[in-house]
Amino acid sequence: MTTAYCAVCDWSRETGSETTRSDLNRAMIDHHVETGHTPIETDEVILDENQIGDGGIDVAGQ
């Protein structure tokens, strides 16, 4: 799932069953045009139970 939010106001949108990446991109553009705020986009990382704490993924960046 990808989420976009605004650090200036409480605006946010996310992709889901009814919302595509194109819908999210359009919403981000519209928010910027309407407010001048720049939305921040983040991708949610979904970890498998086997990946958490087994050394397979370095979540600390070390």
Q: Note the pLDDT tens digit of each residue in 12-53.
A: 999 998 999 999 999 999 999 999 999 999 987 766 666 555
CA distance 29 to 36: 10
What is the pTM (predicted TM-score) of this model?
Answer: 0.68
The owner of tokens 């704490």 is 53
CA distance 3 to 51: 23
CB 39 within 8 A of CB 11: yes
